[in-house]
């Protein structure tokens, strides 16, 4: 009887304990950037950007001056010349 009870006990699945999920830190999800600059956008608003100013080609073949890596996760903002 003891052998049967032990066999039954060892045949049961053993739950594996997973480590508790750690919460994502606020600093890991939000990048803090320093050293930006204010620019005058083509739509008339001021924007704060962290990246360099570049020239990109337009569909018609011309060049457009844009600021990169701006507030509100905008990758490029056309600038007023």
Helices (H), the chain: 2-11, 26-29
Cα dihedral sign, 47-79-59-61: negative
Cut 0.75: pTM above it: no
Contact residues for 24 (Cβ-Cβ < 8 A; gap 6+): none
Largest CA distance in the chain: 91
pLDDT top residue among 8 and 43 = 43
DSSP secondary structure letter of residue 54 = E
Write out pLDDT tens, residues 21-68.
776 655 444 555 578 999 999 999 999 999 999 999 988 989 999 999
Q: CB atoms < 10 A from the CB of 49, how many?
A: 22
Q: Where are the domains of the chain?
A: 35-81
Res 47: pLDDT: 94
């Amino acid at each position: 009887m003891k052998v049967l009870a032990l066999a039954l006990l060892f045949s049961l699945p053993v739950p594996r304990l997973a480590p508790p999920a750690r919460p994502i830190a606020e600093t890991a999800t939000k990048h803090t950037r320093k050293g930006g600059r204010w620019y005058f956008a083509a739509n008339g608003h001021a924007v704060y950007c962290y990246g360099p100013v570049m020239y990109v080609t337009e569909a018609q073949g011309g060049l457009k001056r844009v600021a990169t890596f701006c507030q509100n996760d905008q990758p490029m903002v056309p600038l007023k010349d």
